[in-house]
Chains A and B, each alone.
Chain A
Amino acid sequence: MFGLKGDWSLDVKDRYFTLEDYCGAEPRWCTGCGDHGILAAVHRVCRDAQVKPEMTVAVSGIGCSSRLPHYMNTYGFHGLHGRALPVACGIKSRRPDLDVWVATGDGDCFSIGCAHWIHAMRYNMDLTMLVFDNGIYGLTKKQTSPTTPLDVPTNTHPSGALLPPLNPLTVTLGVTNISFVAQIVDWNAPLRHEVIRMAHEHKGTSFVRIIQRCPVYVEAIGKALQDEPARMKLLTHENGVELDDSVKRMFPNNAEHDPSDLAAARALAEDDTALPLGILYHNTDAPRYDQMSSAGLDMSVDEKLSGLNKALDQFAI
């Protein structure tokens, strides 16, 4: 490829990467924060896939969760609040060879970055996108986020959030050209790992909403679910996640769901009696914008020179 060393493709299996090879700085999240577990899962998925650290880029916005790139020993881009997706898409657009992760928060993605969220879903570039949804603005100290549940007090709404929370799943499942939509909770390690692994494997934008505990500001949100697992519904399928019975037993509410069934996925997402966990939707055939935007990368300098001359010829006198 233009500008890159041609022999990278020959650089096979002479290196084996351990978990340490993906670990960056010591995480500075609070004790008990759900982010720790998610980071551990990302490290493991990278290790299991043996991706090269120098070929991996973790992109984030701003927020507690967006600190994730600093805790990776890969390349990283810790940019602006709400803008992780455009940057990630830009990276992927002309460097399809890179493995690109996106870490974003509920404020980062669903509020300030809302436009990018919708459009990135539609672009369906090959990104692994993790939304750390703690239902609150953590970094800026407890303001209402779009997903803060009704009546949860925050610093901007001390007597409780005024409006019902946004449902990120129904929104995402309503976007044209989505290809992978999943939901997990940060505290169930096997489910967490399995879904993030599949999200990473998927070619296209994999949207994973992670219900993430922020014990410092909104302990009640996570606790309510942990105390009452019946409020969640585990989705399994041979084309979705397959989990041990031991894991399934943690969820009294269990269902088979075929992830290729979009209508069923939407119905599950809309059901507010039980939070669906697992893979809601998976489509391997959705068009990928990264495959279109990377056109021309293989052109030689000579071809470009003659192309430019051809362009100039049109205007020549």
Chain B
Amino acid sequence: MTKAATASDTKYLFKRHETWWVKVAVPRTLRERLGYDLRRSLETHDLEQARQSRWAVVDEFRARIEQAQEERSDSPARHVSKPVDIDAAEFEKQSGTRLIHEHIVEVVSDSGEGAQKCGQILGLVSGKMGNGVWTVEIIPAEIQPPARERQGASGIRVRMGAKYVTNMGDEADMVVAFNEQVLYSRIMNGAYKKGTVVLLESMWSEDPEDRIRKQYAEALADFREQGLIVHELPIQKECLKIVKDPRKGKNMFVLGMLCRIYHRDIDKAKGEIAKTFRRKSEKVISTNHELFDAGYRFAAENLDYEFEIHSAEEDRLESAIVVNGNTAAGLGVMAAGIDLVAMYPITPATSASHYLADDFHLTGGFVHQAEDEIAAIGFAIGASYAGKTACTITSGPGMALKTEMIGLAVMAEVPLVIIDVQRGGPSTGLPTKVEQGDLLSCLYGMPGDSPKVVLAASTISECFHFVILARKLAESFRTPVIMLTDANLATGVQPIERPAVTEEWFAPPVDQSAWDKEVSPYDWDETTGLSDRPIPGMRGGEYILTGLAHNRDSKIAYDTASNQEGMDMRSRKLAALAETMRPPEIHGDPAGDLLLVSWGSTVGAIEEAVDLARAEGRQVSSLHLRFLSPLEPGLKEIFSGFKKVLTIELNYSDDPDAPLINAETRRYSQLALVLRAHTLMDVDCWSVVPGHPLSPRTIGEVIDARIDRIEGAEACSA
């Protein structure tokens, strides 16, 4: 390892709040004990100073890792937690509570058994206890798929950590399964590892049907064969002591178990249960509390897993709210001073409107459920034309229906916020699953030239703040603004910094005093394309908005000059916006072997993978784009600092090694296509459509594989 620093050398370093920190990745086998990485602040803002002082810390961290490795090889290979029934003696040694850095827990069940609610509450409680949390829902497309189906798994993953968590992580440490079949779909998704602890409902072993008993026995053997540590638990039986039909209620029993295992705050958990059932009777709440208590006791008496997750001081939020991306977007709508949301139900966007339906009245807003998506956006456009701030929320198929209206909003320059919570496409596609497949259709999906602003939120916090930004841009630039999020953000729950509310957000869109009759309704500024708009009610501003080609007076104009001018002016607004933007910030060194470029919800997993690879000596950095139209400036220059530029996306591209695929036939992923056109550089892509978020592990593998192919690239040092 060379200790010479090049101009851009930030090896082992990262910056947080202007201060430089050292970070050394922990080998995978030791993460259970030491966490993902070891880090310490160097307490300096100066990069040069940080470069010098880092080595002492790096050496110390390495020593700790080595020591841990030795200790580990002293004892027989240990899994996450050794179950008592497998090795009683070993357990004795480590009984009592273990302090852990993070754990990934899953609850999987048939649909309708409430696994999600259980995990959501676990996540909420953990967030409230100051832990970093990320939860993702595992959702089947049908409301009630047949029971015990491998494809029908419904559930949730909760990643709880000492530090701020930005993604769903790699394999789970602990899973509670309501039946054995649903575990298979998760196994196929690579959700578990050797040593993952499975707490499995045991009622199936006594099922009256031979077939089911047999399936159960086979699966059990199969799981153990695969290295899962399975404990059979009589959850149903225990719940029957309290309720007649444990299908409703088992989840709260399991929540009790998990709260005991992870030392979660009982009062907070019970408070959340009460909130969940607030529209039901007192009786329902008390029964669920009873189930929770029973689960808690059951775990205390029968399970020997006990963990404590402390919360990291440096990542602790000043004051936090715990929300999913759709609720964040709903709150963002309220905070943006938006007045009307018009929508038509579509997964995974709808829950944003569900939230608004509950609370929008608090800021004087109204949710209109329209007869279809076209009507929804038409309604929003009407309200906006009339001087109100409006928004429409949908997902891919709804976007497809809205295209003509978006074109109208572009043509007639009607400000509008459009939120597209992306799901898998094309057609009805994967309604509940994540994909980043709408970028090109948002950019180019309307007839004719249709320049508009397109942004993509990449975190749950951005789901909130970008609505406010979108509203501002929509009004300042007199244009529709599309804000992209996705199914991963929509259902991911996380504690985020509580936004500091300001009065400014509620400013009315325009001052509605009289309009100077001499000023045209499209009084375009030649340089920026910008103009003010009259609003019905303004005396002197009367004009007829039209979707036909028009001149500055909004008069239908088919002549060449008017058409050219209108097109120019609408397009120029994007250039004017780009003019105000700064180049995006690079995560990692500004030069190196490989640059990953991404957008949307993948940022957390990508940056985690990049940090790890960098800590292992890889010359890799990442760049995350928030603006897709116009693009942030300076991309060409940034790209030129790397030997290879690769987009990482959750949308389709041809695998270069697939049959018939060559340089001419290969179809690139969506951002790659845009960037290739934008920079005229050979931007490559790695993109997949797995229907679930990317894990840091997967991205890490891509980094390794790609760098190994780059000639002259720095080899891995760890």
What 0/1 pattern do residues 291 to 317 of B give for CB contact below 8 A with A? 000000000000000000000000001
Is A191's beta carbon under 8 Å from chain B? Answer: no
- Quote the shortest CB–CB distance from A205 to chain B (angstroms): 14
CB distance from A149 to the nearest CB of B (A): 29
Q: Mark B95-139, 1 if CB is under 8 A from A, else 0.
A: 000000000000000000000000000000001101000000000
Query: Of A77, A116, A298, A310, which contacts B362 at CB under 8 A?
Result: A310
Interface residue A16 (Cβ < 8 Å from any Cβ of B): no
What is the minimal beta-carbon distance from B370 to any residue of chain A, in angstroms? 7
| Contact A88–B536 (Cβ < 8 Å) | no
Interface pairs A-B: 7 shortest CB-CB: A90-B382, A86-B378, A296-B364, A307-B362, A3-B508, A76-B544, A90-B379
B317 cross-chain contacts in A, Cβ below 8 A:
317
Q: Return B381 CB to nearest CB of chain A, in Å.
A: 6
Q: B544 and A24: CB pair below 8 A?
A: yes
Known contacts: A57-B386, A78-B544, A98-B536. The answer to whether A93 contacts B379 by CB under 8 A is yes
Cα separation A2 to B503 with both chains bound (whole Å): 14
Q: Mark A31-58, 1 if CB is under 8 A from B, else 0.
A: 0000000000000000000001111111
B543 contacts the other chain (CB 8 A): yes
* B704 at interface by CB-CB < 8 Å: no
A311 at the binding interface (Cβ < 8 Å): yes
- Interface members, chain A 264-317 (any B CB < 8 Å): 292-299, 301, 303-305, 307-312, 314-317
Kindly state the separation between the CA atoms of A315 and B538 in the bound complex, as whole angstroms: 40
* Contact present for A53 and B542 (CB under 8 Å): yes
Interface residues of B (CB under 8 A from A): 127-128, 130, 317, 319-323, 327, 331, 334-335, 337, 339-340, 342, 359-366, 368, 370-372, 374-388, 390, 404-405, 408, 495, 498-499, 501, 503, 506, 508-510, 512-513, 534, 536-548, 555-556
A314–B321 Cα gap in the complex (Å)?
8
Bound Cα distance A273, B488 (Å): 61
Interchain CB contact under 8 A, B498 and A90: no
Q: Does A189 contact B (CB under 8 A)?
A: no
Listed by A's residue number, 30 A-B pairs whose Cβ atoms lie within 8 Å are A3-B388, A53-B542, A54-B536, A54-B538, A55-B536, A56-B536, A73-B542, A75-B536, A76-B545, A78-B547, A79-B547, A85-B375, A86-B377, A87-B378, A90-B340, A90-B368, A93-B379, A93-B382, A94-B340, A94-B366, A95-B386, A115-B371, A118-B371, A301-B503, A305-B501, A307-B363, A312-B331, A312-B499, A315-B323, A317-B317
- Residue pair B375, A3 in contact (C-beta under 8 Å): no
Question: How near does chain B come to A86, taking the closest CB pair, in angstroms?
Answer: 3
- Contact A316-B498, Cβ < 8 Å, known A97-B537, A296-B361, A305-B506: yes
Does the CB pair A91–B386 fall under 8 Å? yes
A304 lies within 8 A of B364 (CB): yes
Q: A3-B508, A97-B537, A296-B364 are in contact. Are A86 and B386 (CB under 8 A)?
A: no
Contact A70 B366 (CB under 8 A): no
Q: Are the C-beta atoms of A311 and B509 separated by less than 8 Å? A: no
Q: Mark A160-174, 1 if CB is under 8 A from B, else 0.
A: 000000000000000
- Give the residue name and chain of the A residue nearest to B320 (CB): A317
- B275 nearest in chain A by CB position: A314
Which residues of A from 4 to 43 have beta carbons under 8 Å from B?
A: 4-5, 8, 24-25
Minimal Cβ-Cβ distance residue in B for A316:
B321
> Which residues of chain A from 60 to 119 have a CB within 8 Å of any chain B CB?
69-70, 72-80, 83, 85-95, 97-98, 115-116, 118-119
Across the interface, do B506 and A311 meet the contact criterion of CB distance under 8 Å?
A: no
Asked whether, in the complex, the Cβ of B335 is within 8 Å of the Cβ of A86, the reply is: no
A53 partner residues in chain B, CB cutoff 8 A:
542
The interface residues of chain A lying within 8 Å CB-to-CB of B331 are 308, 311-312, 315
Q: In the bound complex, how far is the Cα of B331 from the Cα of A74, in angstroms?
A: 37
Known: A79-B378, A304-B364. A90 touches B543 (CB 8 A): no
* B327/A91 in contact, CB under 8 A: no
Interface centre among B327, B361, B364, B380 (most CB of A within 10 A): B364
- The one of B130, B320, B513, B543 in contact with A316, judged by C-beta atoms closer than 8 angstroms, is B320
- Known contacts A78-B545, A90-B342: does B382 contact A8 (CB below 8 Å)? no
B153 → chain A closest CB, angstroms? 28
The answer to whether A119 and B340 have CB atoms under 8 Å apart is no
Give the complex CA separation of A66 and B381 in angstroms. Answer: 18
Given contacts A311-B362, A316-B321, A317-B322, contact A86 B375 (CB under 8 A): yes
Which chain B residue lies CB-closest to A90? Answer: B382
Q: Which residues of A contact B512 (CB under 8 A)?
A: 3-5
Q: Given A299-B364, A312-B501, are A77 and B375 also a contact pair (CB < 8 Å)?
A: no
Of the residues A8, A83, A91, contact of B536 by C-beta under 8 Å: A91
Distance in angstroms from B348 CB to nearest chain A CB is 19
A140 CA / B377 CA spacing, docked (Å): 26
Could you tell me the distance in whole angstroms from the C-beta of B345 to the nearest C-beta in chain A?
Answer: 15
* A91 and B383 contact, CB distance less than 8 A: yes
Asked whether B381 lies within 8 Å of A90 as measured between CB atoms, the reply is yes
CA distance A86 to B343 in the complex (A): 12
Residues of A within 8 A of B362 (CB): 304, 307-308, 310-311
Separation in Å of the B629 CB from the closest CB of chain A? 23
B537-A308 in contact (CB<8A):
no
Which B residues lie within 8 Å of A56 (CB)? 536
Partner of A94, one of B335, B386, B543: B386
Expressed in whole angstroms, the Cα–Cα distance for A57 and B381 within the complex equals: 14
Across-interface contacts of A91 in B (CB, < 8 A):
382-383, 385-386, 536
Residues on the B chain within 8 Å of A296, using CB: 339, 360-361, 363-366
A238 to B: closest C-beta gap in Å: 36
> Residues of B contacting A58 with CB < 8 Å?
544
With A77-B382, A90-B378, A90-B379 known, 5 other A-B pairs at CB within 8 A are A4-B537, A54-B541, A94-B388, A312-B331, A312-B498
| Min C-beta distance of A264 to chain B, whole Å | 29
Residue pair B366, A315 in contact (C-beta under 8 Å): no
Bound complex: CA A77 to CA B359 (Å)? 32
Residues in B neighbouring A88, C-beta threshold 8 A: 382
Chain B residues in 8 Å Cβ range of A95: 383, 386-388, 536-537
A310–B334 alpha-carbon span in the complex (Å): 11
Which chain B positions have C-beta within 8 A of A98?
386, 536-537
User: Measured between alpha carbons, how far is A88 from B379 in the docked complex, in Å?
Assistant: 7
- B363, chain A: closest CB distance, angstroms: 4
Cα–Cα, bound, A298→B317 (Å): 36
